[in-house]
Amino acid sequence: MFWNGKMQKNKLKKIFILGASSDIGLETVKLFLRNNWIVTAHYNSNKKKLYNLKKNKNLKLFKFNLLKIEKFEKFITKNKKYFSEFDSFVGLTGYIKFKTLNNFKVQDFHDHFNVNYLSNVLIIKKLLKNMEKRKWGRILLTSSIGTKFGGHPNTFIYSLSKYMNEFFPSYYKKFFKKGILVNCLQIGVTNTKLNKKNKEKNLKKRINLIPIKRMATVNEVAKYIYFLSSEKNSLIARETINISGGE
């Protein structure tokens, strides 16, 4: 926990990671735990690998289906104290349905918007007040390289919902002078199981479009997440930072 930019003695920093059960999320959880943070890791159904880390006393698990966004809002409202303790927040949700412009339904937009963007905002508005009191906080949202190019025809709704995380309301600016830094990480093609399983994606052809000629590793991405949402970041605020090997 921080006060006036300095960590209190015998107090471990606390982070809430939304969407922590993905490959990137899992590696991020491990990295924060190795650096002695108390980590609250959110998941919906994919819990096996997180549960394998449960022996670490600094890990707490949080289950919630973010598609039920109204219930999530009510939960946050009823548990203000629970969401007041975190020094840092990372939004890693990545809900995706493969829908083209010709076959989407209105509900598809609602689902992507609620999970990939609105869930972050609901948490952030509860965190800011207490971060302001402590005069320290780090908030990191995540986006996708697809937002830069309009997304794949089958994932345009996903890309659009992630693009919203790159929008920084002017309201955030007043918190910067109080030690609260808000940023967005635009993540490029990463070597995850999801990318490998996507039969519609020709990975060799996709990698050839990347100037550095390789995918990012989950470990690399986790390190950038750690930097931007920990005390290592002391100056970067209101930036969308692209990590995509030059795309």
CATH topology of domain 2-243: Rossmann fold (3.40.50)
Q: Do 155 and 146 meet the contact criterion of CB atoms below 8 Å apart?
A: yes
pLDDT tens string 69-113: 999 999 999 998 898 899 999 999 999 998 888 899 999 999 999
If we measure between CA atoms, which residue out of 184, 242, 240, 225 comes closest to residue 26? 225
If we measure between CA atoms, which residue out of 113, 82, 87, 70 comes closest to residue 6? 87
Phi, psi of 96 (to 5 degrees): -145, 135
- The stretch 17-33 carries a mean pLDDT of 97
Report percent pLDDT > 70 for the chain. Answer: 93
Q: Do 228 and 166 meet the contact criterion of CB atoms below 8 Å apart?
A: no
The reported pTM is 0.92
* Residue spans per domain, the chain: 2-243
pLDDT tens string 43-67: 998 888 899 898 899 999 999 999 9
Q: Name residue, tokens 């986790």.
A: 222
